[in-house]
Structure 1
Amino acid sequence: MKKLLITLTLVLGLAAFSNNANAAYTIDDAQVENLFASATNASFNLVADVAEAAPVMAVASENGGKDPLIAVLLDFFLGGFGIHRFYLGTKTMTGIGYILTCGGIFGLVPFIDLIVLAVNWDDISAYVDNPKFFMW
């Protein structure tokens, strides 16, 4: 019974597909020209683009020049090696501790670091140049 249902479904599906495959597609040039005529031009304003990027630069300057997005991405992808801690300006031994403990106590410390950095997105200055193994 199952084989009959599967076979019937496949036959009906192929029949429906073959009917749609023979459909003729046409392009109406007048409609295309009307679409282009009614479209609006987009212009890029360099001054507006810089003004929109200014708040991002302000966040980085409050945090001692460290961008929280870069710190979070480094922690997510390379947290086991302590690369995010090197970016934030920790001592060399802290990064070596991350490596020797198999990613900071088997990945637990970088995971908590990721949560802490994400929660404190607006102000990560407390974690910049922090020499402790547990930055929190």
Structure 2
Amino acid sequence: MKMIDLTGTTGVIFGVANHRSLAWAIAEQLGQAGARLAFSYQGERLKENVAMLAAKLPGSIIFECDVTDDDAMARGFAEIGTAFGHLDYLVHSVAFARKEDLEGTFRDTSRDGYRLALEISAYSLLPMARLAAP
């Protein structure tokens, strides 16, 4: 018995890297509740993992998306529109920082590294929200 019925709803999940990702745990629950899901992946390195996980949830699609590229995000949301017709919700679970900025102390984080981490991990939600809006 499902705790909640999300049959007929569609969502997009940003941030699945592997089976340990928080985004994957959320996606599993949404999928088990009946939601159709779209998953983004960043580059070929993550494509196989995301495709393998998405295949576990019937009706799911995957699309490549660089969240620092507005055109790439627009293409991704267009793919979702073509596949599903509408979008009910999005999950933003994207986080990134350069390895060198994670080593050492926080106060030694570079300005450029901090900007990049904020752009990817936080700001990317804003264009996603704009594109997801009906």
Q: TM-score range by the shorter chain?
A: under 0.3
Q: State the TM-score, normalizing by the size of structure 1.
A: 0.26
- The higher-RCO structure (CA 8 Å, 6+ apart) is 2
Q: State the TM-score, normalizing by the size of structure 2.
A: 0.26
Q: Which has the higher strand share?
A: 2
